[in-house]
Amino acid sequence: MSRRFLREIFIVFLNLLVSDVLCANQQSPLPQEKWSFDRIFGTFDRAELQRGFQVYQQVCSTCHGLSHISYRHLKALGFSEAKIKAIAAQKEVQDGVDEEGNPIKRGGKPSDYFPNPFVNEKAARAANNGANPPDLSLIIKARKGGPHYVKALLKGYTDPPSGIQLAPGMSYNLYFSGHQIAMAPPLSDHLVQYADGTPATVDQMAHDVVTFLAWASEPEMEERKHLGVKILTYLLVFTVLMGLIKRQTWRRLEE
């Protein structure tokens, strides 16, 4: 292996290292938000969950799937069975094929999972400037910064700095890697009309939909925390009892 070849490898590695450092320095720090579910004993706010589902349903679901969640899971959000059936029935799902190989479609049922908005990846890329919108089932777990990052991304759209040329169809986002994102700004004030009368500002909608996506990423979180409290309580009581038994046993031996 020649010295020239080694020198070229070293230069490439150095350039990559410098570019990574520059990108890290340019990355805006994530705003730290307060979440009802983020504390040790935190739970999901049901009003936020229902509003967040409304934002997902009316805005996000046109491009992003939610493949790990079925309609019956919405019961955890506080929806009645009748409401869940009505929500599921709004969507058509494929239920096999007929004798000629054509897909058979029917109205959704509570047992169905949320359908993908596109038939395949090619159709998704064709409709989104070459980008394949990610499934949102685990997006909070899949992104560094979790809910803080996703909310910052939803609110991070701005005009590019002077000297920055955006590629065709791209938008500038402070928190997206490389700052150029194929997704157009998804939220604007009063884009939805909340059923409970809450003002639908960009910040409110971003907060609500991130809460909903956090639930979708970990719907068993509350059960896990409740189980943890029971286990800790049991261990605490057990430790106290063992301490009392030990004290009583040693007292008898000393006598």
Query: Torsions phi, psi of 38, nearest 5?
Result: -90, -10
Mean pLDDT of 2-12: 46
How many Å apart are CA 74 and CA 112, to the nearest integer?
A: 12
pLDDT tens per residue across span 124-133? 999 888 889 9
99-103, 187-191, 224-228: which has the highest mean pLDDT? 187-191
Cα 235 to Cα 17, 226, 227, distances in angstroms: 49, 14, 12
Query: Which CATH class, in words, describes the domain spanning 34-69+114-218?
Result: mainly alpha
What's the first-to-final CA gap in the chain, in angstroms?
83
pLDDT at 3 (0 to 100): 55
Tokens of 163: 């000297």
pLDDT tens per residue across span 164-207? 999 998 999 999 999 999 999 999 999 999 989 999 999 999 99
Domain residue ranges in the chain: 34-69+114-218, 223-249
pLDDT at 231 (0 to 100): 87
How many Å apart are CA 223 and CA 24, to the nearest integer?
A: 37
pTM: 0.80
pLDDT tens per residue across span 36-45? 998 888 899 9
| CA nearest neighbour of 219 among 80, 37, 83, 79 | 37
How many Å apart are CA 61 and CA 128, to the nearest integer?
A: 14
| CA nearest neighbour of 117 among 40, 203, 57 | 57
Q: Are residues 44 and 109 in contact, defined by beta-carbon separation less than 8 angstroms?
A: no
pLDDT band at 254 (very low <50, low <70, confident <90, very high): low
pLDDT at 67 over 50: yes
Q: Which residue has the tokens 């938008």?
A: 171
Q: Are residues 205 and 190 in contact, defined by beta-carbon separation less than 8 angstroms?
A: no
pLDDT at 95 over 70: yes
